Chains A and B, each alone.
Chain A
């Protein structure tokens, strides 16, 4: 059952990205282009997504475990730290440069465009670089990492 849930969630997530046109990098860049010809579409997508996702969190509130095993993810206990802020800042730069974030990157692979393929290879290389500890923040004395 867990495997069916995982597949169904991936399919529904992907259909949502397609219908809302978030698979189109130009659309994402137009949202980030606040000083230019601003396109609020991504804001509507986020608003819709946060609406149903918060309903799910409200349903989850009295529960300790998920319906098909595992625990309801607890609130993160780590504080806002340097890795969170630096990592998010670096992600935002990459997002602004190309207009693709991880979800739409995978969905857009089906377009068969070499540009998306290059982006994905670089993105997965970046993830691997960080996962294997080959990319570390230099110590800048900005507080605990």
Chain B
């Protein structure tokens, strides 16, 4: 098994390539919150199908991967209120802020969009403060 940081770079290169394929091929920004949010909201049928196929790709890859690899252990909080509040905040925040870690963090930052740089610095900062606060109070 590679050291973590090598896997991180390889995984990152793949993610960046995936966003590049979607942008160069279809003229779409691979922002997951945007794709999901647009899919929930109304959009044209052809557009809806493309969004759905991207999401199916996201869902299908782990099933393919874990058919031949061991399923890793993931650790996530089991606090119901935390999951609900966190989910609502991520849902509302990414639509209000027009993007998340993929749309702003990868696509926008890689073209030096000022909006994306501000968004990324903001969610990194509040994310860091939230984790520090949770550690302090919990």
Contacts and interface: CB of A to CB of B under 8 A. Distances in A.
Contacts of A116: 76
Contact of B74 (A16, A40, A96, A108): A108
Given A13-B58, A32-B127, A93-B130, A125 B91 contact: yes
Contacts, number: 473
A13 B83 contact: no
Interface size class of B (residues with CB under 8 A): 35 or more
Interface size class of A (residues with CB under 8 A): 35 or more
Contacts of B71: 111
Contacts of A84: 97-98, 115, 118-119
25 contacts: A5-B21, A6-B26, A8-B57, A10-B61, A11-B60, A14-B62, A16-B18, A20-B10, A21-B72, A45-B15, A46-B12, A49-B13, A51-B12, A56-B24, A84-B118, A90-B89, A91-B97, A91-B123, A93-B127, A99-B76, A100-B90, A106-B32, A107-B62, A126-B90, A129-B88
Q: Chain A's interface: helix, strand, loop or mixed, by majority? A: helix
B96 A106 contact: no
Q: Chain B's interface: helix, strand, loop or mixed, by majority? A: helix
Given A88-B93, A127-B37, A76 B62 contact: no
Interface in B75-99: 75-78, 80, 82-99
Contacts of A36: 131-132, 135
Nearest to A64: B27
Contacts of B94: 87, 91, 101-102, 127
Interface in A13-29: 13-26, 29
A9 B21 CA distance: 6
A108 B26 CA distance: 26
The 6 closest A-B pairs by CB, nearest first: A10-B57, A126-B91, A48-B12, A87-B97, A122-B87, A20-B11
